[in-house]
Structure 1
């Protein structure tokens, strides 16, 4: 048995998700999204989701109300696969989605990747398709390791600027060996001084280390 990684990703689906359309139109988050595929070649996908009641949701597909919980209502829709929505991209990498909901015009997906390479490939594929992809949390497990050794990384501990510094440095190869870019080159890309880059990087790394060491 190997290690696995649980990831929570926020994606702006760019008009590919009827659930986000319906949720945004009513100004209500969605809950308990369920997915299934039908047909001998799985050519269609069926989805159900729950919204707060108080209006008729609209989306680019036909929505059918299937259950009334009183304060909430469940809706269902069916459509062809292959529209390139975030869920389909994640599932290409054999990563079943275990939790899915929409909030503030974004889709939040939780899934398990078999290893770091699979996770990186999944994130890169999402970034190639969508303009906004944010890794919110990562939880990495180790086989036969005690629960205390599980590592939770919560990106909300970082400021927007600290995340930008880390992402730019990583994309330019600053953390590689040998380095793909030095501190001055990354700072120039960010439009800041080298000393300011070092300060942001040090603060971000300190927060990540505190999370890893549970400080």
Structure 2
């Protein structure tokens, strides 16, 4: 049996404390973990890891409690309202577990696995219904054997502007991890608003995913 692994970037995760910390500290936030059940007070407990010298003060609207630290990294814990919008919970609401969560430059980066490629598109649609700037950053297929499943992608379906956006984002390292550039950097180079950049990028990725799904 084979499956798919997808990594989705939510550029505007609606006040996610982890994403807010990554924007304020100017450092990536890794190793995010969450409690599986709400507390009696209706809150969800989360922990995250950042570089030891990262400044997290004022980076989120929740109280951050230091749990553990050493010379290289520090772990913080916080509680948030269980009823608040959460991208991870949107993914899990589709019946798909989140395999990893991290944040960088104010964006939330969520990875998950599915058995069917169509499920990836469904999850992206659910996220886009709740959040702005949702982009598929990586999509790969796991194979049990050396067999391949080639797919022809028609790049002519992309408009000239969409190809320009994709090429600039790729050249500047937008799809790399860690990112070589964020959405604002690419938008400034292209001379467009950040929202325009994410809109064109999302449209281009949707067309490419449509080609893959149709195959």
TM-score > 0.5, shorter chain as reference: yes
- Distance in 1, matches of 2:69 and 2:202, equals 45
Structure 1 residues 18-76: Cα deviation after superposition (integer angstroms, max 9, x where no partner):
01111211111111111222348995322111112243433111110000122321101
Shift of 1:127: 1.0
Higher relative contact order (CA 8 A, sep 6+): 2
Note the 1:95-174 alignment, pairs <5 A.
Answer: 95-141=96-142, 145-147=144-146, 149=148, 160-161=165-166, 164=200, 167=203
SS at match of 2:96: coil
The alignment covers a number of residue pairs equal to: 166
Corresponding residue number in structure 2 for 1:33? 32
- Distance in 1, matches of 2:99 and 2:204, equals 30
Kept in 2: contact 1:16–1:83 (CA 8 A) = no
Query: Computing the radius of gyration over CA atoms, which structure comes out larger, 1 or 2?
Result: 1
User: Structure 1: 5+ residue runs without aligned partners?
Assistant: 153-157, 176-204, 209-215
Corresponding residue number in structure 1 for 2:64? 63
- Distance in 1, matches of 2:201 and 2:97, equals 31
Could you state the TM-score of these two structures normalised by the residue count of structure 2? 0.65
Q: CA distance change for structure 1 residues 150 and 45 in 2, over 3 Å: closer, same or farther?
A: farther
Shift of 1:169: 9.6
- Distance in 1, matches of 2:119 and 2:134, equals 16
